[in-house]
Amino acid sequence: MINNYYLLPFYDFLNLENIGSGAFAQVYKGYEKLPSIAPLHKYREVALKRINLAAITDPAIYKTTINEVKIFSSLDHKNIVKCYRSFEEISPFSQIRYLILVLEYINGGDLHLCIQDRAIKQFCFFHEYEIWYLFEQISSAVYYIHSKKIMHRDLKPPNILLNNNYFVKLADFGLSRLNLAIGGQAKTVCGTPYYMSPERINEEPYTFASDIWSLGCILYEMAALKSPFFGEKENLSSLIQKIRSANFPPIADRFSPQLEYLIESCMNPNMEERPTACEVFNAAQHMNNLWVKWLNEQKNEKNKNEENIIMTEKELLSSSPKVSTSSTNTFTQQIVCSEFFFN
């Protein structure tokens, strides 16, 4: 339900600046005056998503738009963009009806821009510890929404916002589905082809496992600085075939076998064999903790220069044991058990 608490017209927000637009909506950066009984008011920086309801003639899209409001208002997680409130207004100039979401403003761009920037700089790859730091946060947000029976359905780097400290905020629930029962299946086709699972490409029923496929695509892209299906944009049939068969190049061998294995597990063409969001998060959290521990140990060592630290990191990765995909252990045992990780 739309929250009309202390309604303010759209034009009462200060210093509005258009920072993005889509088919039905525009996004602004601005400042909101907070309610106060004192003479001096406080302001907070916000992002305003202004949706033109009159432009939405398709009932399905209208339902999705209203769904976004319901979803945003129900979520409370450190790695998900906050929706402070929402309201409807009628423009005094055009009499057009708008739905306005007042959102937390994130000032560091998004993961897509971050990856693009690194690729432009002659493939300035992420260090593996950076990948795990980011991916733990991403998987934490997805684990949270899945626990709330919410499927995101459009997980991709542009929807992963970052602040200046690389703190992740998952955004854009416009394609989410609320109240999907455990084991339930959705049938609509939507989302971005590069990150769509085989079952969605085939227009088959799909589950929360489709979000896991997308997580695998995102993890791959952070390692390779390109989509696992890069180069197939102009050839849709070839792209579809590669997605169906999970046919993508391996990541560089400078990365650990644990990273490679997690990507392959998430991007299993059989959705029933993919890990759950809980398992993915546990694996990412464990790996991130190990990297943090290792980096702290390196910082505490005396008489070590940066070149020696980087060499030690490479030696460490090359000596990591390969995780066997033929093991009969569960995914959690294969990924999370410390015997598969460096000390």
Which residue numbers belong to the known binding site for Mg(2+)?
159, 172
Between CA 102 and CA 82 the distance in angstroms is 9
| Count of helix runs (H) and strand runs (E) in the chain | 10, 7
Catalytic residue among 12, 110, 117, 154: 154
CB 323, CB 334: distance < 8 Å: yes
Catalytic residue status for 154: yes
Strands (E), the chain: 14-21, 25-33, 43-52, 83-90, 97-104, 160-162, 168-170
Residue 219, judged by CB atoms within 10 A of its CB (0-12, 13-18, 19+), counts as: buried
Between CA 271 and CA 210 the distance in angstroms is 7
- Name the region of 218 (left: φ>0; alpha: ψ -120 to 50; beta: rest): alpha
What Rg value do the Cα atoms of the chain yield, rounded?
22
Annotated binding-site residue numbers for ATP: 49
Strand order in the sheet with 97-104: 14-21, 25-33, 43-52, 97-104, 83-90
Annotated binding-site residue numbers: 49, 159, 172
Residue 95, judged by CB atoms within 10 A of its CB (0-12, 13-18, 19+), counts as: exposed
Tokens describing residue 50: 């202004």
Q: Could you give the residue numbers annotated as active site?
A: 154
